[in-house]
Structure 1
């Protein structure tokens, strides 16, 4: 999520500008670690893919003299880094932290069901219990979790650990969703470190577009004019004012006004700047200590957006306003607002009060949690009809790109503050959301993908080549933003002679061309929704059977369970795509699913472990059938109403349809497209070159080995020859 005036950017160094000469590079690499810098800084770049980084280093999109390129040339890198199945963000990050596979660490998807939950209450993988919980005698904390974050062992050994928005470290008590009076099944202390910054969230009002005309503006009241003068703002045409919106967030009302200024002094009426302010606050002159921002001043010829803190909001929240088009005579004015964003204070467990102090430290030194790039704006999913319907694609995309740039800057500043606040940290773990968000939206690289999601003929020769080229540039910009974050964090620790810097990703990426409606497929097969529930994350599906005695309110007997499980597997096996436009001409088509796994069952229906069996791909809280689509297909992206693919029979509820975005991950981890990245350099990394093939579950034991700490028995990975 973005940030502007509230950044304490500091100087732009030679590292950040990419002006590293050989002598400077040598200075980064030699010498022993200095006092006052973390021993290890682990940076996760969500969705970073090795083949794309290699391509961008080769074509000059990324420079080998800073950031990722510097790490690769100065230290070691993985030729490929196998993530976990499913190759999703939450399981991938928990695997990095625990050294255990998704089935073992029991964070089995981005969204799934706990088998202790009522049948209709999924949990986010980002807030799920790491290493599971006990189910016998009712759900409760496990005395022997099946996975353990590396920070548990490190802190027990007296090491200092810092996490800045890293998944799994959030200071919350985990309970069972939907279960009345649920006990804590994982306490906050297990998910808290020495300095903990949880990932933020959004609340109402959500994203919205606005179109105003000259008739919406009238002469500004005298109070507005005098307040602008006091703030040192001059208009060479009469100040005009319009009412933009009224909303209530967390019980606090806001009435947002917009004043139009002409700052050009060219003898013409030429409005070029908008000022957004809350009527109750007026236009205050400042200065504004963080997290406050004061009014939002936007001159779109300079910058199309500005932050706006919501004074008095109990969650210390704010928004970002955009001006994408401003006619000089105000005949057409298009504005937009992000969703309201914040780091939740109410979610933090009272047992870890320090986390609130850590959040406040970020609020007062970096600013409020900012909005990240929002797919709902690009896809115009905000309302029916969409408030963005009249916005040209170029303006919608400009909003998204502005968010990419500002959001990565904000996340970088959060990480830099965590480092500055804890220079004696042994391990700092931080997370950067890009390039993942941009790859989801813009990975338009397969001729089978519709360049117009509403036009089935916009595939192949019907694709819009200008849009394909434009979207590729957005992918490049996302990687450049992520690379700038890495460069800034290397600078923040004083260079690679001070800290071991490791860049990793949770998964790779692949384009997809077809959206799959799994629940429709199950319904067509006669499977009842009160007995069978599919919970999907990207191309991965966990399909649960409402087993009596396992789920609260379960209705399916063990004998019925066996029949239903077999039937689900048959339905998935028989789901094929026979459209030659998408199957590369194969005359008989191909199965839509790549792999299908069934929960192992005991021989006896009366076995107390019935419905609790696990294996390498089925964890405690996986579906009773876990299935992964083949590349090119995704459960996400189904449009409403669905859009029939080229060559498919017309249907009001097709199982296969055109999607409204382009990139996906979550496929089988063995696929080369899903390979994650791994780059590392620093004072404890003397060797250079390729590590060959590694696994993300090898990272935790490698870091533990550097500190001389014995890994938990649950670790499945092995220590890499990473450190000397």
Structure 2
């Protein structure tokens, strides 16, 4: 009898231990999905329409910041995502803007604010040290290659590009301008009659004499990518009516693909070394007589994944990558629909890639990043502002519907990733953006403003008293200080006077239309404590923070300034921006607050998030979910009030 009792007790005890292990280990998995540039108001509206079931689930079963989360200072991409993965302010992790300067380096040297410059501890590194498997997926999370970030992988970077975007036509495209700042190619071709013998080999029928040309795309590895393209007439109506573009192999033995106007065609190739890569061709225009042919050709791309075995594997099984390219639409070479479609295609590709990594490697911690809302909003957000010069009431609904579909696709892709990760029953999910978006239509040139008050010398910048490094609506101005900068010209005794001169020049800056250009300026010392809605944020970093920090007033921003001109109109299809200081943007212009939603197995439903919740709170909360330490440099707070307590199951005899 005693033996039976002991046996039952032993079995019961081990059952409870196993039950506890299942109950309290699997749900500890945690994933962050970043929607770069997502605006909380749009998310709420589209969810209310029933178009975003993942967000709707979060609202009902998790926690959603209805007013949005507080952005960090500066609210730009490269400063914000590191704050998510480290839990630290930009002043702590050192990436104080997308572009900045390191004091002590030549005053003319800018620093790109990528994760390779991170000065803080990453939560992904902490998780790996604690024995958890991680997957860090997307460029802004960690430096490339992964071992430089202290990670074992898997890791996905920004992607591999092997050519520029290209537009090809056989006629002059009205209104198109190949601006010098565009990173793309454009060339014209002449269509010639195809040899009928070759056409017969392809078994392709054409009721008008087929036309052909060789599409040549220069690549970064030296050898052009060449594809033979045919223009054919598939309509048996005794009328010249070209309607199909077909690609054929190099031997003219078979058709490898075909498209009609508005359709996309993937073309594959092998890089030196054998890796699979490719590009997409969209037939933008083909007149019946073929006098007007226009193609959009995406950049040739391949996967960029660590470790190498996974990259090799995924390069073979995934579709060809594509990116939402801004250049062709800015130059007027393609229509809005083409740019919009490329955004959706890119989201779908990253969904497949991230899903493959998750299912193949079974990580416990995932950081995944989608940037397509940001790219789309930079081009199109101003078209939604009734006060913007680019606004059109007739086009508003069509354009707004494109935003709706981009957000909807991201919700769908996020759901797919979460299901691959275990879903809400087995894991926990944060959905966040790094900033919102603001409409703008004027570009302010900070260095030109400094030049006009005698502080900046454009002909010899190293002799300037001060130089500005800007991104978006935020700028940092660095004083060329003797003893700190290699070519210093300002005495330490004059530091405060020059600093005041800069701030006075910014605060007194009035555009020709009577509007203030600058919303707010801070001294370097003041960046230690910047108040946002009652919460203190820091941008202070001894090495990378400017001696003056300033923010543009809407509708101004600082990117793409024209040398020698102090204020200019925005360039085409660059209508939305971020980087503004929270609390300075009029409601009709947009919102700089962030999307912030969290839910899952260990998250209490509808507890509510504090009004001051911010990106820096994510890493500490992830640490609490996993039961491990926070990153050593974290400034944020764990949102313990939304977490179920992971109590031990009591065992008694």
Quickly name the TM-score band, shorter chain normalised.
0.7 to 0.9
What do the CA deviations read for 1:282-326 (whole angstroms, capped 9, x no partner)?
56759xxxxxxxx553222xx522233343356865332221111
Instruction: Answer yes or no: is the 8 Å Cα contact 1:161–1:194 preserved in 2.
Output: yes
- Verify: 1:298 aligned to 2:232, yes or no: no
Q: Does 1:98 align with 2:98?
A: no
Structure 1 contact 33–499 (Cα < 8 Å) conserved:
no
Mapped partners of 2:301, 2:488: distance in 1: 37
Residues 1:677 and 2:595 aligned together: yes
The TM-score with structure 1 as length reference comes to 0.73
1:67 and 2:57 matched:
no
Q: Where does residue 122 of structure 1 map in the other structure?
A: 110
* Contact 1:166–1:429 (CA under 8 A) maintained in structure 2: no
Deviations 1:440-489 (A, max 9, x none): 111123333111xxxxxxxxxxx532233333222222212222212322
Following the alignment from structure 1 to structure 2, what is the Cα–Cα distance between the partners of residues 72 and 267? 60
Give distance in 2, aligned partners of 1:111 and 1:170. Answer: 16
1:631 matched to 2:554: yes
Structure 2 residue matching 1:576: 3-state secondary structure: coil
Instruction: Check conservation: 2:207, 2:236, Cα contact below 8 A.
Output: yes
Residue matched to 1:599 = 524
| Preserved CA contact (<8 Å) 1:83 1:696 | yes
Paired residues for 1:350-365 under 5 Å = 354-365=306-317
**Structure-to-structure mapping, 1:537-686, within 5 angstroms:** 537-577=471-511, 579=513, 589=514, 591-600=516-525, 616-619=538-541, 620-636=543-559, 638=561, 653-660=565-572, 661-669=574-582, 673-686=591-604
Q: Distance in 2 between matches of 1:161 and 1:719?
A: 20
State the 1:235 CA deviation.
4.1
Checking the alignment, whether the CA contact within 8 Å between 1:518 and 1:655 is kept in structure 2 is: no
RMSD: 3.2
State the 1:671 CA deviation.
5.9
Listed as ranges, the matches of 1:110-509 within 5 Å are 110-131=98-119, 147-172=120-145, 188-200=147-159, 202=161, 204-211=163-170, 216-221=190-195, 224-225=198-199, 228-229=202-203, 234-245=205-216, 247-265=218-236, 268-276=239-247, 281-282=250-251, 295=256, 297-300=258-261, 303-313=262-272, 317-342=277-302, 354-371=306-323, 373-380=324-331, 388=333, 396-423=335-362, 425-443=363-381, 444-451=383-390, 463-493=391-421, 495-509=423-437
**1:45-82 Cα distance to aligned partner (Å, 9 max, x none):** 11111111112223x2x435x22222222221123211
How far the C-alpha of 1:627 sits from its partner, in A, is: 1.2
- By how many angstroms is 1:711 displaced? 1.0
TM-score by length of 2: 0.81
Map of 2:588 onto structure 1: none
Indicate whether 1:50 and 2:40 are aligned: yes
Question: For 2:45 and 2:508, how far apart are their aligned partners in 1?
Answer: 38
Which piece of structure 1 moves more, 483-492 or 702-711?
483-492
8 Å CA contact 2:507–2:520 kept in 1: the answer is no
1:511-550 to 2 correspondences below 5 Å: 511-527=439-455, 528=457, 529-530=461-462, 531=464, 532-550=466-484
CA distance in 2, matches of 1:40, 1:228: 53
1:63 and 1:208 mapped to 2: Cα distance?
34
Whole-Å separation in 2 of the counterparts to 1:33 and 1:671: 46
Q: Distance in 2 between matches of 1:223 and 1:534?
A: 64
Q: Between 204-213 and 401-410, report the one with greater CA deviation.
A: 204-213
Q: List per-residue Cα deviations over 1:315-357 (Å, max 9, x = no partner).
A: 8653322211112331221112233444569xxxxxxxx5333
Give the match's secondary structure for 2:348. helix
User: Structure 1's 126 and 317: CA in aligned 2 closer, same or farther, altered over 3 A?
Assistant: farther
**Distance of aligned partners of 1:535 and 1:472 in 2 relative to their CA distance in 1, 3 Å threshold:** same
C-alpha contact 1:512 1:634 (8 A) present in aligned 2: yes
Q: Indicate if the aligned counterparts of 2:189 and 2:213 stay in contact, CA closer than 8 A.
A: no
Any idea what the Cα deviations from partners look like across 1:75-97, whole Å, max 9, x if unmatched?
A: 21123211201111111100010
Q: Tell me, yes or no, if the aligned pair for 1:510 and 1:665 is still in contact at 8 Å.
A: yes
Aligned-partner Cα distance in 1 for 2:105–2:114: 17
Q: How far did residue 405 of structure 1 move? A: 1.2
Three-state SS of the structure 1 residue aligned to 2:73 is coil
SS of the aligned residue for 1:502 comes to strand
List per-residue Cα deviations over 1:493-552 (Å, max 9, x = no partner).
353223222211111112123221222212212222322322111001122233344344
Secondary structure (helix, strand or coil) at the match of 1:435 reads helix
Aligned counterpart, 1:722:
642
Classify the secondary structure of the residue corresponding to 1:259: strand
SS in 1 for 2:359: helix
> What are structure 1's unaligned runs of at least 5 residues?
1-30, 132-146, 174-187, 287-294, 346-353, 381-385, 389-394, 452-462, 580-588, 602-614, 641-651
User: Given the superposition, is the C-alpha separation of residues 325 and 703 from structure 1 closer, same or farther in structure 2, using an over 3 Å criterion?
Assistant: same
